Structure 1
């Protein structure tokens, strides 16, 4: 993307805006993640004029809503949220272009898919962690990861594993955030997460994409237990990226 008209920073701004759109229309997190996946797949195959980036965003969200068979706002509403920068005809045409380039392959997993698997493993372990709080924190960090181009190039399962690692570290910073059960289930050792975890940690600490606060504001709400206000230690001990000792 760095060589194209659309820069990683422009993409991040689009993602931040789509978080606001998704919240305004009370869309599920899965819909947001699916929308971003269409955007990234399309951009990986096409040189897009930056003036059409927002058009790509709303059209991708429309496809995600249709794929999930959710009663979606009319196309006119998607024009409205862009301040009518695009016509209904342009949205529909972009929708068709996206589907064509994706070869109508609009299914597939997202980070949220893998998070669901990993949280099931965590729930079976007796760490006395408040699971709902942990899950909300995971959803928040997963959403933050969508902002960063460095996460896009990594496997979804690895990003999800890194989110679980960082979520557990944030809630219980003195305990090793990984376990043999998670390692066996995910096939990832702590060392495998050493590249991704710091990226998401920097996002959490606002060291990356600091001005983009849509997800932060969203998860400040009481319905998400104000999870984005939860402080995380500034440093993650290197020892936590060593092999787990438990059995």
Structure 2
């Protein structure tokens, strides 16, 4: 009787061990380790908090807080200065995370500093995906309202020397994957087509206000899928 019980116990142990070996080694999402760190760049009159909703969304979709970097800068300064600071931020992120590249997501005027970094400061070596959300890539007539106050705003004016240089030649340099999400009723990017980038995946998201573009969950899902 005891021998019979031992045989049953052995059989149960064997089946249990086989079952356990068949289970995944970890319960963590399979894609979690493959994420690049994401650096978020706000626009005129913005700050790191401009990205709170999307940071929360990324975390809900498997990113860790240590992979998400929203930072603040002086938005009144030249976008070239912002680009230099972005270069420092990216190097810091790579050092902290051990990653080889980052993804950059920008909103509004943040597109100018981000693109200057890529084109003029060697950023293409450190960036995998670049996403412009309501970016003023070719300027906006609205910038005439603040161009006399801030250097950054003056550079956003359609036809400015800054934009002429930035958009000369290849608008999407290097092996970076570029996307631009734009609204067809954006009152801050005039004309709306100014947001498009030659060589990028350009997506018309419909009628969403300028300030809602980087809060909108539908736009977020498209951005998330692009950089994934």
TM-score of the aligned structures, taking structure 2 as reference length:
0.26
CA radius of gyration, larger in: 2
More helix as a share of residues = 1
More strand as a share of residues = 2
TM-score of the aligned structures, taking structure 1 as reference length:
0.24
Of structures 1 and 2, the one scoring higher in RCO (CA 8 A, sep 6+) is 1
